Structure 1
Amino acid sequence: MRRLFLSGLCATLIAAQAAADTQPVNQLPSDLKTLPDTIDRALSEFYTPGMSVGIVKNGKIVYLAGHGLRDKEQGLPVTPDTWFRLASVSKAFTATTVAQLVDEEKLNWHTKVEDVLPGFRMADPFASREMDITDLLTHRSGLGSGAGDSMLWPEPSGFSRQDIVHNLRFLTPQYSFRSEYAYSNVMYITAGEIVAHLTEDSWESRLQNRVFAPLGMDCFGGDVPGYVLENHAISYGHNDERGIYPIPRNQLAEKGIVSAAAGGVSCNATGMLKWVQMWLDEGKSAGGETILSEDAYNTMLTPQTLLSVDDTDEEWDHMHFKAYGLGWRLMDIFGHKVISHTGTLSGYQTYVAFVPDQQLGVVVLNNGSNYGARGAVMQTILKAYLPESDKRNWIDEYRAYQDKQEEKYLARHTTPSGSGEVLLPQNTYAGRFSDEWFGLMTVYPEGDTLRIKSDKMPTLTGRLEPFDDHTFVIRWDNQNAASDAFIRYQVNVKREVTGFTLYPFTEREITNHEWRDMVFTVDKE
């Protein structure tokens, strides 16, 4: 009871102090004196409006500053206290709340998921029976990368967390259980539901009381107070036609999001430096309170799932190993163990890293959609503190890397072509169609075209263009939120439409895609 009281008191004091601006800090070593200019050039080069950067070294903040704009239209600057969505950097917070339950002996790392959530079931019976707590946090469920993300994005989602856990049974495995690394957001949402179930509280509340409050972090896993919206970074994208443009659907709002345990935490550089310092202090807060036991701390930073080391890793970082722990990626860079995670959401790019043997922690938060900005800044900082490393112009390196990737994409990319006509009158394809887990989609006439809308995902709307036979192309209204897709109708011998499936707009054969487990049939209701 005393712990809860003190945590609540701490949270109250944090809120009371929120209006006090954190002053920028610049005590950079000589090798990094040009960092502010590098950050500004990275923002310009990679079409990113603003960025907040923090560095801790040997227990002291040596850099903390905002660069660029949090709101382009209003000309409002980023500060150290500007809030961003952390995207997948949130995963380490979820793993921490699980680790705390292990410390409390409410479960262990090998507790079976179905023993805690009786309704949990995967399509693979073996995975249903054997999946444990560690499996949820290590991206080895057997699902393909991103499976189930169609229930999360584009925001807002009409699926509840209970819906998401229930619908896991409809997702076809791409690999054998525990055989491959494949990134999974829905497994982290399931882990958040484990926390909620065992604590009889929301995951967000548990995170607030047991992590943010004792660390003095003015950060949030769910709903945010009004003062956050007075200094939050608006999310932006970029393309050649529109330039830099806002992405309203992903912006911070007072209401939390269903995917919070996978990617919905909101925080600022000031708060994140306290988080990184806790990891450098091996699970202790600045005041000496234990956030994680030694066993939990070490378990989270132990390799669980191996990751491949590619040519770029070897060239840039002299890397020999890379793995996923619990909410963190683990690797060596020029012989130093580096723990890090990135976060990627349309309009927010984040990167957090710490190097225990150098007592170094780095936080990079920005409100753009190009990973080059965060990557170039992070590489510049890390390499300045690792004496064995190469000193390069990392903006140029990332630009050259992206140019090469674009060349590869264009070399293999072809645009599908059809007759531009379908076999039946267009309105024949209109109607209400349902899938057993994704729910209802409606195709309806509007003028001389057909349109489509999702019942569960209200921003998933678009128009249908005839392609060929019984196939149309869906041009989604929000091209930033979803890529064009084929809608392939099934027609019976009476030339009656019976349903449809969806497929990416490509000539390539793709087995793992967001629509693979959806089969829509005519809705009878």
Structure 2
Amino acid sequence: MPTRAARWLLIACLAVAGQAGAREAQVDAGRLASLVDEAFARYALPGIAVGVVVEGEVVLRHTRGELRAGQGEPVDAATLFKIASNSKAMTAAVLARQVDAGLLRWDDPVVRHLPDFRMADDWVTREIQVRDLLIHNSGLGPGAGDLMLWPSPNRFTRAEVIYGLRHLQPRWSFRSRYAYDNTLYIVAGEIAAAVAGVPFDVLVRREVFEPLGMTRCQAGSWSRDAVGNIAQPHARTGDRNVVVRADGATVPDEPMMAAGGLRCSLDDMLRWAQAWLDTGTAQDDRPWLSQAQRDAVWTAHMPMPLSARMRSWDRSHFSAYGYGWRLTDVDGTSKVSHTGTLKGMYSALTLLPERGVGIVVLINGDADEARTVLMQALVKQFTAAGGTHDVAYYAGLLAAERADSGASGSGTRGPARAPTGAETANVVGRWRDPWFGSVDVCSQGDGLTFVSARSPKLHGDVVAVDGRLQVRWRDDDVDVDAWLIASPAQGRASALHMAKVDPDADFSYDFEDLAFVREGDCR
């Protein structure tokens, strides 16, 4: 006859087994797949790959669409997508592995590892630590310096991006508030590379891809045709999906790699999710990452705004940034997540650690709303009783938000005319910004053009709109027009500024951070 202790142990085991069984019973793979299909159809996406892992097991791999719309090559679980800012958590993981190995500390001053690093303020240069590079607390404005990263390709090197930081003026006090940035993640990647003595692409393969079996992930420069099965980004033109920024034969090593330049497949991202949900992931009988560093990465280091939508949709109580991850709660359980956005490519990864759930969404088209509503519907299958709401329900909530705010959801160009000589006299010439470099505002053909020396896609026509000068870019990749603003002066202006025509447009078009001074006359 079993002892009382044995009986209690048996009851406890049965209870745990019952809870696990109940959790597994709640996973309706057909329902999850139907939500993906609904989003794919509703938003006419070119391609999508979605996966779900529960308690270490992949319960859904669902793909639809094509690598290139209309070409017939299907998306599958091995298709490479740009994961954009989901790269940030991988950069943080590389640094966490180095902390585990005793090669650096989170509170090391940046200048200890990169002696030539500078910020605009000498005090910040002295005080900024490795940890600060990862949590968006620098005092710079959102997306400061991003015009050195995109539109890509451009002629900036990684070293030039880091050098340019000393010329970016802060908008707030250091460590006083959250404002998303990309450029400091590039610094973080170069610190990791300096500590290891190898380039960052070699390092991320060695520290992340190889030990976790992420065999399709790509970093640095690589051959498109040798790798194969690569989703191309698309833009929506009328009722068609059209490839934009198609890969050439050689995919270049772009400066933004550590901030948003990695590519992975659905299977790779599911392994990445499993590594974070399974603390026992090992390499040579050692954990891939210590519990101390897992805790450090998922600590709420920097408070973030808690939006009305988060409170309404998820009953969230807090929002914060860890090392490369966003942290919050949804329906009473913890949520760790990030998104990634590049033109024509959207990614999302959500982990519910207390439920053992990981969800990956990869899309190769214009998919801001599609990503939002699909991930919301998928998450609710695991956090809300019944999980009854579908993609259409959350799309309806977003439409109501837009109606309440008066937002149209799309920008328009107003009527424009050729400016007069008197209107352009103050802006004609060669100008220089200390971090962005030289631009020419000069006559070309029958009009006046703006041409950047280091960012070739920033080539546009200067027009007059409502009595103001505006640059309208010729390349379809650049979808945010800019005002040209000459400082008042007697005769020709000596300073030139820019601003987004749509102030709510993507902050990575950080025209407002430019401060041009006159360099000379047009040649």
TM-score w.r.t. length of structure 1: 0.86
Residue matched to 1:382: 379
Counting only pairs closer than 5 Å after superposition, residues 361-400 of structure 1 correspond to structure 2 as 361-386=358-383, 388=385, 390-400=387-397
Amino acid at match of 1:363: V
User: What SS does structure 1 have at the residue aligned with 2:214?
Assistant: coil
**Counterpart for residue 166 of structure 1:** 163
Q: 2:321 aligned with 1:293, yes or no?
A: no
Q: Does structure 2 retain, via aligned residues, the 8 Å contact 1:156–1:249? A: no
Correspondent of 1:514 among 487, 502, 510? 510
The residue number in structure 2 matching 1:81 is 78
Return closer, same or farther for 1:414/1:126 CA change in 2, 3 Å cut-off: farther
| In structure 2, distance between residues paired with 1:355 and 1:182 | 25
The answer as to 2:332 corresponding to 1:335 is: yes
Q: Which residues of structure 1 form unaligned runs of 5+?
A: 1-26
For the residue of structure 2 that corresponds to 1:39, the secondary structure is helix
After superposition, where does 1:246-265 map in structure 2 within 5 Å? Answer: 246-248=243-245, 254-265=251-262
Q: 1:422 to 1:488 in 2, by over 3 A?
A: farther
Aligned 1:444-455 pairs, distance under 5 A? 444-455=442-453
Offset of residue 499 of structure 1: 4.9
Shift of 1:516: 2.7
When residues 96 and 368 of structure 1 are mapped into structure 2, their CA distance, relative to the original with a 3 A threshold, is same
Q: Quick check: 1:450–1:464 contact (8 Å CA) kept in 2? A: yes
Q: Mean Cα displacement is larger for which, 222-231 or 454-463?
A: 222-231
Task: Return closer, same or farther for 1:59/1:249 CA change in 2, 3 Å cut-off.
Answer: same
Task: Assess, with a 3 A threshold, how the Cα gap between structure 1 residues 60 and 227 changes in structure 2: closer, same or farther.
Answer: farther
Q: Number of residues paired by the alignment?
A: 495
The residue number in structure 2 matching 1:8 is none
From 496, 504, 510, the equivalent of 1:500 is 496
Per-residue Cα deviation, 1:17-42 (whole angstroms, up to 9, x for no partner) = xxxxxxxxxx9966442332321221
Of 284, 291, 315, the match for 2:281: 284
Task: State the shift of 1:472 in Å.
Answer: 2.0
Unpaired runs of 5+ in structure 2? 1-23
Q: In structure 2, which of residues 131, 137, 140 is the aligned counterpart of residue 140 of structure 1? A: 137
2:304 to 307, 327, 334: 307
**How many angstroms apart in 2 are the aligned matches of 1:507 and 1:346?**
18
Deviation of residue 166 (structure 1)? 1.2
The aligned residue for residue 438 of structure 2 is 440
One-letter identity of the residue aligned with 1:60: E
Q: Output the CA distance in 1 between the equivalents of 2:321 and 2:248.
A: 29
Cα separation, 1, equivalents of 2:127 and 2:406: 39
CA distance in 2, matches of 1:115, 1:352: 33
Note if contact 2:35-2:390 (Cα within 8 Å) is conserved in structure 1.
no
Deviation at 1:392, TM superposition (A): 0.9
The letter of the residue matching 1:361 is: G
Deviates more, 1:430-439 or 1:347-356: 430-439
- In the alignment, does 2:176 pair up with 1:182? no
Q: Structure 1 residues 252, 152: closer, same or farther in 2, change over 3 A?
A: farther
Matched, 1:116 2:122: no
Give me the whole-angstrom Cα distance separating, in 2, the residues matched to 1:253 and 1:52. Answer: 24
Q: Name the CA distance, whole Å, in 2 between partners of 1:298 and 1:447.
A: 60
Distance 1:512 1:46 in 2: 25
Counterpart of 2:232? 234
Q: 1:200 aligns with which of 192, 197, 214?
A: 197
Shift of 1:232: 0.8
Establish whether residue 460 from structure 1 lines up as the match of residue 458 from structure 2. Answer: yes
Amino acid at match of 1:517: D
How has the CA–CA distance of structure 1 residues 455 and 415 changed in structure 2, closer, same or farther, with 3 Å as cutoff?
closer
2:33 to 36, 40, 59: 36
Instruction: Write the mapping of 1:403-442 to structure 2, written as runs, cut at 5 A.
Output: 404-405=401-402, 408-410=405-407, 421-422=419-420, 424=422, 430-442=428-440
TM-score for both structures, normalised by structure 2: 0.87
**Most deviating of 306-315 and 328-337:** 306-315
Q: Following TM superposition, by how much is the alpha carbon of 1:422 offset from its aligned partner in structure 2, in angstroms?
A: 3.7
Partners of 2:333 and 2:352 within 8 A in 1: yes
Q: Which moved more, 1:81-90 or 1:253-262?
A: 253-262
Q: Deviations over 1:460-490 (max 9, x none)?
A: 1111113477x52100113442411111345
Write out per-residue CA displacement over residues 74-93 of structure 1, whole angstroms, 9 at most, x where no aligned residue: 12211001000000000000
2: CA distance, partners of 1:425 / 1:338: 53
In 2, the alpha carbon distance for the partners of 1:360 and 1:30 equals 10
> Which residue is equivalent to 2:210?
213
For the 8 Å contact 2:165–2:435, the answer to whether it is kept is no
CA distance in 2, matches of 1:416, 1:236: 26
- More displaced, 428-437 or 112-121? 428-437
1:150/1:357 Cα in 2 relative to 1: closer, same or farther (>3 Å)? same
1:310 CA drift (Å): 2.1
Question: Per-residue CA shift, 1:440-460, capped at 9, x if unaligned?
Answer: 112232322112211111111
One-letter amino acid of the counterpart of residue 49, structure 1? P
Partner deviation per Cα, 1:363-384 (whole Å, 9 max, x = no partner): 1111112222222332232221
Instruction: Give the match for residue 17 of structure 1.
Output: none
Q: Distance in 2 between matches of 1:418 and 1:69?
A: 38
Contact 1:136 1:188 (8 Å CA) reproduced? yes
Q: Alignment partner of 1:248: what SS?
A: coil
Letter aligned with residue 452 of structure 2: S
Aligned to 1:150: 147
- Name whichever of 440-449 and 72-81 sits farther off: 440-449
Does the aligned pair in 1 maintain the 2:416–2:463 contact within 8 Å? no
> Which residue does the alignment assign to 1:344?
341
Shift in Å, 1:273: 1.0
Contact 1:420 1:468 in 2 (8 A): no
Alignment RMSD (CA, Å): 3.0
Write the letter of the residue equivalent to 1:73.
Answer: G
For 2:207 and 2:231, how far apart are their aligned partners in 1?
A: 26
Give the Å deviation of 1:307: 1.6
- The Cα of 1:409 is off from its aligned counterpart by 4.9
Is the contact between residue 146 and residue 508 of structure 2 (CA under 8 Å) also seen in structure 1? no
User: Structure 2 CA distance, aligned partners of 1:73 and 1:390?
Assistant: 35
